[in-house]
Amino acid sequence: MGTDGIVYDNRQAQIFTTTSSGYLSSISFNSYRINPTNADLRVSVTSIIGGQPRTVLESIIVTSTTISSQSLSSAFLLGGNFSNTITATGNLLLQANTQYAIVFSTSSIEANYRLYGDYSAYSGGSNSSFQNSGPYKTSGGNLLFRVSATPIPEPGSLTTCILSAIFLITRRRRSRTSRDTATPISSPVFMLFRSSNLNPVIDVRPR
């Protein structure tokens, strides 16, 4: 995995399909690096056009030191765990029932990373590789990953929140001597997709 900025350009991508609309909050995946790799890993979410990852919608840099140089055990992988979880800005709105891609790349000529996957029968997308001039070619498996997003409030829930806010404001005006406080309610998080890892785990090796 890597690029020289001219001809040599290798990337890995995983296409996925959303089940609901929401703002991207985090991406989890399983990876390790081969020493002496010290190039940072770029994880991007892109649009899909003609089955190919296209426009970068959000990009997150993962420093090399946060990715272990030790391979992951089968027990860890089969337990549904993730070695890395990165936090998104929370500004990217993912539309329901839409395909996107997670693209792994670096700006270094050579970055030796290993991304874990399996042969799960996922109908929402697949793992693919991009080499030099492309295009992306399907590898036949899926990376192990999880995309999390903060759901958009239902119209009814939003109205209730507005009415509650009006009630609090009115209450504060009527009782100037009291100090009312409101406790923030955390929005629930839904998982768009996590590739099944019940099948034998394979090591997806970028070349």
Q: How far apart are CA 13 and CA 131, in angstroms?
A: 11
Other beta carbons within 10 angstroms of residue 93's beta carbon come to 13
Percent of the chain with pLDDT over 90: 48
List the structure tokens of 184.
């923030």
Predicted pLDDT at 177: 44
Q: For residue 164, is pLDDT > 90?
A: no
Band of residue 71 on the pLDDT scale cut at 50, 70, 90? very high
* Stretch 183-206: mean pLDDT: 33
Q: How far apart are CA 43 and CA 30, in angstroms?
A: 13
Model confidence, pTM: 0.73
Q: How far apart are CA 122 and CA 128, in angstroms?
A: 14
Predicted pLDDT at 196: 39
* Structure-derived torsion over alpha carbons of residues 12, 44, 38, 3, reported in degrees to the nearest 10: 60
Model pLDDT for residues 107-158, shown as the tens digit of each residue: 876 678 899 998 877 889 999 988 877 789 987 789 999 999 998 876 655 5
Percent of the chain with pLDDT over 70: 69
* Stretch 87-97: mean pLDDT: 95
Lowest pLDDT segment from 23-37, 97-111, 152-166, 183-197: 183-197
* Stretch 155-172: mean pLDDT: 51
